[in-house]
Each structure stands twice: as C-alpha cells, then as structure tokens.
A = this chain, B = another copy of it.
Amino acid sequence: MLRGIDHVAIVVRDTERALRFWRDTMGLRVALTARAQAGTVQLTNLDLGDAHLQLVEPLTDDHPLLTWLGERETALHHLGLAVDDVSAYKDHAVASGLASEDTPIIPATMGRRAVFLDADAAHGVVIEIIAGRPREAGP
C-alpha cells in the first residue's frame, strides 16, 4: 500500500539559514511554502526528484519541536510516505495498532490529507502517511 517516499522532514531553527544551505549551496528549488498547525510552523518544501525535502520551522517559543530540537540547529525529524488513500490506510493502521480511532486525519500541503502514525508503535520513527505525490500537484 505504501508507494514510496513523499518527503523527508527536517526541523530547522531558522528557515533562511537552512535555505542558504539547501537552496543556495545544494541547489534545490523551493517548491512551496506554507503555514501549518494553526500557524505555529512554517513549512518550506524543496524539490528532490520525485520527493520533497521539507523544512519545518517552529514559530512559537514554546513549540514542542523546539524542545525536541534541543541544542541542535537542525535535525531529521520524520519520514513522509505516500499512499493512494489516507482513510483506507488509517483503517489498516488502526487494525495494525499503529494508530487509534481517535488519530486525526489532518490537512497537509497542497490540499492533501495525512495521518501521523503513533511513533511508539512505529518503532520510534515519526511517520506521516500522506495521499498523492508532491510532483502531481504541479506546476
């Protein structure tokens, strides 16, 4: 049911500093920017072949991702895996103990839908299951 890697997300302390590396030095194109989590995080997606590299900058001083980041400037945070149908995958995940009935299906970038699996069940890695593929959203 998993079609592949949709995105790899990196939490960054400062998007502009991160872009000086990923965009200016590594040459990746910015595909989209968006606010998420009720405006508390800034997302910047960069094109990486069939997938995106997603920079996630927490915007509030008490954001849990800042606690998670600790002293680091940046760190790999989660793996976005593509499926055709998030609702169907959630049913499968609930049956497999990777999510609960209460786990929300959330709006993601470009009008897509996503569900985060329970990280404890998912062997300690944060996994976002997301419908579609970034490149399909065009242009």
A-side interface residues toward B, CB under 8 Å? 1-5, 8, 10, 17-18, 21-22, 25-28, 48-51, 53, 72-79, 81-82, 96, 98, 122-125
How many identical chains are in the complex? Answer: 2
Asked if residues B75 and A124 are in contact (CB atoms below 8 Å), the reply is yes
Asked if residues A98 and B25 are in contact (CB atoms below 8 Å), the reply is yes
Residue numbers in B under 8 Å from A82 (CB-CB): 49
Q: From residue A82, how far is it (CB to closest CB) to chain B in Å? A: 7
Rounded to whole angstroms, the CA-CA distance of A22 and B21 in the bound complex is 31
Residue numbers in B under 8 Å from A53 (CB-CB): 79
Known: A48-B2, A98-B25. A124 touches B74 (CB 8 A): yes
Residue numbers in B under 8 Å from A98 (CB-CB): 25
Contact of A1 among B10, B18, B27, B72 (CB under 8 A): B27
A-B contact pairs, 14 of them (CB 8 A): A1-B27, A2-B27, A4-B49, A4-B50, A5-B48, A5-B51, A21-B122, A25-B96, A49-B50, A50-B50, A72-B124, A73-B123, A74-B125, A76-B125
Residue numbers in B under 8 Å from A22 (CB-CB): 123
